[in-house]
Chains A and B, each alone.
Chain A
Amino acid sequence: RKEVEQDPGPFNVPEGATVAFNCTYSNSASQSFFWYRQDCRKEPKLLMSVYSSGNEDGRFTAQLNRASQYISLLIRDSKLSDSATYLCVVNGGRSYIPTFGRGTSLIVHP
């Protein structure tokens, strides 16, 4: 089993839709979690950290479920500009090595 797993998609949604991605992780000792956004042929950029209590930033909501070992990202009212790959990152355990998922591709169409 991979350390961090994501459905690669693509998720093809119309503008205005709500879409959710999940990311599962195998190391129960993981301590910190992030969502990054990566546009085609660009570097990953931090979208948001994921806190135990969940957190929201505008149209984006991230949640952590430690019992089931997954994190989620919810995007409301999708915009064309949300089209990108969303990378899940899990840190922790015995080292500071961050582990990335392979990313979930989102395509928002008119």
Chain B
Amino acid sequence: DTGVSQDPRHKITKRGQNVTFRCDPISEHNRLYWYRQTLGQGPEFLTYFQNEAQLEKSRLLSDRFSAERPKGSFSTLEIQRTEQGDSAMYLCASSSGLAGADTQYFGPGTRLTVL
């Protein structure tokens, strides 16, 4: 499968614990995005990388959230000291970055439940 993959698909954790999610984009894509989606809402932008550089970060992303893409390939999203309000689907998407053809392709998401 050459699409975007995410791991784990589901994560249940207790409040206060740290969690880390991984995203592997389509191999030739240099842009990688993280989104959060809650029930009845569209995906909300969290952050975006061009290769290894984190270029944009949403105000939604509190200090408890950090994302990395160290070698410009896979990315990780870490949430420290999780809260119940962090429960959501975390979606990763990648795109080629080519002008006029910058379509995003999404991974299956990681569903986080904070108890």
Chain A residues within CB distance 8 Å of chain B? 4, 6, 8, 32, 34, 42-46, 49, 87, 89, 91, 95-103
Known A34-B103, A43-B108, A49-B103; contact A98-B33, beta-carbon cutoff 8 A? yes
Cβ of B45 under 8 Å from chain A:
yes
Interface-centre pick from A6, A43, A49 (highest chain B CB count, 10 A): A43
Cα A84 to Cα B97 in complex, Å, equals 28
Check B106–A100 contact: CB distance below 8 A. no
Q: Which residues of B contact A87 (CB under 8 A)?
A: 42-43
- Interface contact tally, CB-CB below 8 A: 48
Q: Which residues of A contact B48 (CB under 8 A)?
A: 96-97
Check B33–A46 contact: CB distance below 8 A. no
Cβ of B109 under 8 Å from chain A:
yes
Q: Which residues of B contact A44 (CB under 8 A)?
A: 43, 91, 106
Q: Which residues of A contact B56 (CB under 8 A)?
A: 95-97
Check B42–A100 contact: CB distance below 8 A. yes
Interface-centre pick from B42, B43, B100 (highest chain A CB count, 10 A): B42
Q: Which residues of A contact B108 (CB under 8 A)?
A: 42-43
* CB contact between B105 and one of A6, A46, A49 (< 8 Å): that residue: A46
Closest residue on chain A to residue B100 by CB atoms: A32
Q: Which residues of A contact B44 (CB under 8 A)?
A: 100
Check B109–A43 contact: CB distance below 8 A. yes
Check A96–B102 contact: CB distance below 8 A. yes
Cα A100 to Cα B41 in complex, Å, equals 9
Check A102–B40 contact: CB distance below 8 A. yes
Known A43-B91, A95-B56; contact A100-B103, beta-carbon cutoff 8 A? no
Cα A97 to Cα B61 in complex, Å, equals 14
